[in-house]
């Protein structure tokens, strides 16, 4: 057993480049696990900087000086941030309040609908099962309301934190864009001169993360706008709120689209019933989801490394469990990082004694 472990260690950790990669991974994981919550503004700023860097690169391709490109793009970012804070967020808050005001009436109508099921399908569902289901829904809504109340009672610290983020994030984004080369050179200064494997992994991941962040944000905007237009044409209640939910759902591959469809169906059913408007709305919604999955995603992520759906779902579960929202958001590039490391990891050629492995 010891010989097997020694042979495995010699194969994967005898190369100095492998040791460097292992140290970098250990340091990065320690920083994320120890200071992750404190560094949330930094992570958010890096994401935004990656997004804006793509626009700056396009302007640089048009021979615009970097300083002018950074100023132009950063000004647009600040304008979009102000529009979000003073126009879009109040509209979203208003629709959330309206939904909670109408929620008791929707629950009453839902109970009336469920109570008809035992009469129509007595062999499948009973009145006791319907009562148990409604009690579970009521308890869930009650617990959610208590959580909202407790959150509102502690909203002053959260508001202060939000205000701090609103100052820190734009400031960090500006310096990440302005001093990008300086910051990268500072980090590189801590690495040894000979680092070809680390450079190879970094170049691949830099391209992958940049492509993923820009593509994912563009996908969120396009899907949200297209969904809002479709819902607004159908005059669906809470069109803006549902469109935002549909847009954000693309962050979670496969699972997000399934989960967000439930509130869309519920709101559409209570507004239109099972008539033609309900069918039309779900058809249009299905078309938007189909265009997103079959046209928009291949177009935006054409440069992404292909991953099996099982690998993507496992990555979402693992990294989401470790780091919450940011783990879910970066699940695919983190899975790509793992794949790149496995492909680039230096391996020593070790003679194998086949007599020790009877399955050969």
Q: What is the pTM of this model?
A: 0.75
Domain boundaries, given as residue ranges, for the chain: 195-345
* Structure tokens given for 136: 């579970």
Q: What is the pLDDT along the chain (360 residues), one digit of tens a residue?
A: 677 777 766 666 666 777 777 787 788 778 877 877 788 888 888 888 988 888 898 888 888 898 999 999 999 999 999 998 889 888 888 888 888 788 777 777 777 777 777 777 777 777 777 778 777 777 766 666 666 555 554 555 666 777 778 889 999 999 999 998 888 888 888 777 777 777 777 777 777 777 777 888 888 999 999 999 999 999 999 999 999 999 988 887 777 888 889 889 988 988 888 788 989 999 999 999 888 877 887 777 655 556 667 777 788 788 878 777 777 777 777 777 777 777 767 665 555 454 444 444
């Amino acid at each position: 057993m010891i010989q097997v472990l020694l042979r495995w260690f010699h194969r994967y950790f005898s190369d100095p480049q492998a040791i460097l990669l292992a140290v970098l991974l250990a340091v990065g994981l320690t920083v994320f696990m120890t200071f992750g919550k404190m560094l949330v503004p930094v992570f958010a700023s890096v994401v935004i900087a990656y997004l804006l860097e793509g626009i700056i690169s396009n302007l640089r391709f048009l021979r615009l000086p970097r300083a002018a490109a950074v100023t132009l793009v950063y000004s647009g970012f600040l304008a979009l941030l102000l529009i979000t804070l003073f126009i879009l967020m109040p509209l979203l808050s208003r629709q959330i309040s309206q939904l909670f005001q109408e929620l008791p009436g929707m629950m009453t109508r839902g109970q009336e609908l469920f109570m008809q099921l035992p009469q129509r399908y007595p062999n499948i569902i009973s009145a006791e099962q319907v009562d148990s289901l409604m009690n579970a829904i009521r308890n869930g809504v009650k617990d959610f309301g208590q959580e909202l109340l407790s959150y509102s009672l502690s909203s002053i610290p959260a508001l202060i934190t939000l205000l701090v983020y609103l100052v820190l994030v734009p400031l960090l984004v500006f310096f990440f864009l302005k001093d990008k080369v300086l910051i990268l050179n500072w980090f590189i200064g801590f690495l040894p001169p000979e680092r070809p494997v680390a450079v190879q992994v970094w170049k691949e991941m830099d391209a992958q993360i940049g492509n993923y962040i820009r593509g994912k944000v563009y996908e969120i905007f396009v899907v949200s706008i297209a969904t809002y237009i479709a819902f607004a044409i159908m005059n669906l209640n809470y069109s803006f709120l549902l469109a935002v939910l549909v847009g954000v759902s693309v962050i979670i591959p496969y699972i997000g689209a399934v989960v967000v469809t439930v509130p869309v169906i519920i709101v559409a059913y209570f507004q239109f019933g099972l008539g033609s408007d309900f069918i039309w709305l779900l058809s249009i919604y299905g078309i938007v989801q189909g265009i997103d999955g079959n046209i928009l995603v291949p177009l935006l992520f054409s440069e992404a490394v292909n991953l099996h759906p099982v690998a993507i779902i496992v990555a979402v579960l693992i990294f989401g469990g470790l780091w919450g929202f940011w783990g879910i958001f970066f699940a695919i590039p983190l899975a790509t990082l793992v794949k790149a490391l496995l492909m680039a990891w230096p391996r020593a050629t070790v003679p194998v004694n086949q007599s020790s492995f009877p399955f050969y």
